[in-house]
Amino acid sequence: MEGKMKQAVMTGLKKVELRETAIPVPKDNEVLVKIEYVGICGSDLHYYESGRIGDFIVELPFVLGHEASGVIVEAGKKVTNLKPGDRVALEPGKTCGECEFCRQGKYNLCEDVVFFATPPVDGVFQEYVVHEAALCFKLPENMTTVEGALIEPLAVGFHAAIQGEAKIGQTAVVTGAGC
């Protein structure tokens, strides 16, 4: 697919501009996704407001956003599990795919993982994104792309509940607006 797309680009602290750039081209093992929904995470707000989180410092211009879903519009030559028209949620972490953890399906433990919208990797506040097909997950027919964009924050919440040893029936306080 050729042409231009819009990106929401952070150009300074608390400054975002719409810019036009070329639509990216997927490699053989990648897909081109037309982004439909992106949640706004607390990390996006930190980068927007202060330009950093710990040792991760934004180098401008920078594209925020990592909680995403959309529709595949093009698939690379070696992609067999997805096709144009498939609705997907995107795993925001790009992993090596070759380490012991990745080979065991525990790619969340990959030591070489890089995340969308974590410097220096741009995020997904843009019309189209190229991503590894193995890190795009087809949504079931009964799930919308709005719900698909909520999968990553839901997984973070589940992880927190497991770490805190939460049990069904316990009382809990949840603070924050969420994405």
Question: What confidence tens digit (pLDDT) does each residue in 79-116 have?
Answer: 999 999 999 999 999 988 899 999 998 888 999 999 99
How many other β-carbons are positioned within 10 Å of the β-carbon of residue 145? 19
| 116-131 mean pLDDT | 96
Cβ-proximal residues to 21 (8 Å cutoff; 6+ apart), any chain: 4, 5, 7, 126
Which residues in 100-128 are b (16+ Cβ under 10 Å) and which e? ebbeeeebeebeebeebbbbeebbbbbbb
In terms of phi and psi (left: phi > 0; alpha: psi -120 to 50; beta: otherwise), the region of 29 is: alpha
Interval 32-86: pLDDT, tens: 999 999 999 999 999 999 999 999 999 999 999 999 999 999 999 999 999 999 9
Q: Are 66 and 92 in contact (CB under 8 A)?
A: yes
In the numeric block, the tokens 């990553």 are attached to 152
Q: Domains for the chain: give ranges and CATH numbers.
A: 4-162 (3.90.180.10)
**Of residues 124, 95, 119, 96, the one with CA closest to residue 32:** 124
Read off the pTM: 0.91
| 110-134 mean pLDDT | 95
| 122-132 mean pLDDT | 97
Q: What is the rounded CA–CA span in Å between residue 143 and residue 64?
A: 25
Q: What is the rounded CA–CA span in Å between residue 111 and residue 61?
A: 26
Interval 135-144: pLDDT, tens: 999 999 999 9
